[in-house]
Amino acid sequence: MTTRWITWLDERLGLTAIYNTVLDRKVPKVNWAFTLGSATLFLAVTQAVTGVFLTAYYVPHPEQAYESINYIMNDVAFGWLIRGIHHWGATLMVITVFLHMLRTFFYGAYKYPREVTWITGVLLLLLTLGMGFTGYLLPWNQRAYWATTVGTSITETIPFIGPFINEALRGGTDLSTLTLVRFFSAHIWMLPAALFGLIGVHLYLVVRLGISHIPDEDE
Amino acid sequence: MAHDSHEHGLNRRNFVAGIVTFLGGIIAAILGLPAIGYLLSPSLRNRNTASLDEWVPLGLIEDLVEGEPRLFSFTRTQRVGWEITAQSYGIYVLRKPGNTFDVFSNVCTHLSCRVSWQEDLGEYICPCHDGHFGIDGSIISGPQPRPLDRFDYRVEDGTLEIQLVEV
């Protein structure tokens, strides 16, 4: 019965072809360092899922942001778990993204024909850091407030356009409601849209080009 | 696949697939089941009834005229989520002979609009769907399923007090 349904669907959707291309492709003999990309993808999806759940209670307003997170942590069933996964997953994702990049670099896996995979990977690294930066402000506690004050102030040191970038990031001269809301918007819509779009391109290229083998001694 | 040593039984490929499915299921359950509780949490929480069964003083009974419903309004604060919100209550009190009282909620039993006493008609009227209630809270006409809700009351030192738990 189940097989009949699967055959019926497969005939129309071509799922087996997708499965074979994406998951059953040939790979060279590699080591555990080659799982870092998948680990990062797993964390990205987990972040997306827990992040969506957090928006069920979080309010991006200076008077309510901290209170709403307090509520998630202390009053909502499993709120501590959902936010805990989001909190630690964020840190972990930055680490796996970085290790993934190091592996690619030291194995020379960024070379022809994988240059575009590398470039999208660099953009994904920057987007991940952007997610970390914008997400850090959202609790609106002292640490978040001053970290963002410092972080945005750094842009001010850029010659000529620095002050403008600083104000553009903050939505004004100082941190305010506007800063919180635009960081929230960037954190839940703009950056994730770019991130998951680029993950699509990145994965397409990985599937299309295959993964490189570990360099031999004489290479 | 064909040259895998064991066509039947557990080969390496099936084993890995099985483990992945199993671990994936566990991870999904660890995330998924709490997520349901997480979303339903506020609606499953016990209502903040502790503050509701306090006795709320409305006023002196000597100010109440027999046979004339009188509206008492007051607000009570309540913690909803992380916010303290004020909730306003409207209570109609009718003094009856022998120091007994009818204490009605002004919330219409149909769809929770507020009823008001119409002196000229001698009826409570809900403006939303033209519900009419008698002076004793009974249904005269309209879509409402039951008479006006009543509250418990007591008289302490000449002051009428009510309990906000509907009876």
Q: How confident is the model at residue B1 (pLDDT cuts 50, 70, 90)?
A: very low
Q: What mean pLDDT comes out for the span B47-76?
A: 81
User: For residue B5, what pLDDT is reported?
Assistant: 47
Q: Which residues pair with B117 in a beta bridge?
A: B124
3-state secondary structure of B85: strand
Reply yes or no on whether the pLDDT at A211 is more than 70.
yes
What is the C-alpha to C-alpha distance for residues A18 and A23, in angstroms, rounded to an integer? 8
What is the C-alpha to C-alpha distance for residues B87 and B76, in angstroms, rounded to an integer? 5
**Euclidean distance between the first and final Cα of chain B, in Å?**
72
* CB proximity A78 to B under 8 Å: yes
Reply yes or no on whether the pLDDT at B51 is more than 70.
no
**Is there a contact between A78 and B38 if contact means CB atoms under 8 Å apart?**
yes
What is the C-alpha to C-alpha distance for residues B21 and A82, in angstroms, rounded to an integer? 23
Closest chain A residue to B1 measured between Cα atoms?
A24
Per-residue CA distances from A33 to A103, A121, A156, B4, B111 (Å): 7, 16, 38, 26, 62
**Is there a contact between A77 and B34 if contact means CB atoms under 8 Å apart?**
yes
Looking at beta carbons, which residues of chain A come within 8 Å of B34? 77-78, 81-82
Q: What mean pLDDT comes out for the span B135-161?
A: 92
Residue B75 is given by DSSP the state E
Find all residues with CB under 8 Å of A112, minimum gap 6, and list them. none
Q: How confident is the model at residue B158 (pLDDT cuts 50, 70, 90)?
A: confident
Structure tokens at A35: 């799982």
Phi, psi (degrees; rounded to nearest 5) at B53: -95, 10
**Is there a contact between A53 and B35 if contact means CB atoms under 8 Å apart?**
yes
> Order of strands across the sheet with B151-156?
B55-60, B159-166, B151-156
User: For residue B4, what pLDDT is reported?
Assistant: 47
User: For residue B111, what pLDDT is reported?
Assistant: 92
What is the C-alpha to C-alpha distance for residues A117 and A103, in angstroms, rounded to an integer? 14
Peptide bond preceding A163: is omega within 30 degrees of 0, i.e. cis? Answer: no
Closest partner residue to B39 (CB to CB) among A50, A56, A75 is A56
Closest partner residue to A76 (CB to CB) among B31, B41, B83 is B41
What is chain B's mean pLDDT, rounded?
Answer: 86
Q: How confident is the model at residue A121 (pLDDT cuts 50, 70, 90)?
A: very high
What is the C-alpha to C-alpha distance for residues B64 and B95, in angstroms, rounded to an integer? 6
Closest chain B residue to A73 measured between Cα atoms?
B38
Looking at beta carbons, which residues of chain A come within 8 Å of B82? 64, 67-68, 70-71, 75
Determine contact, residues B110/B131, Cβ cutoff 8 Å. Answer: yes
**Is there a contact between A82 and B82 if contact means CB atoms under 8 Å apart?**
no
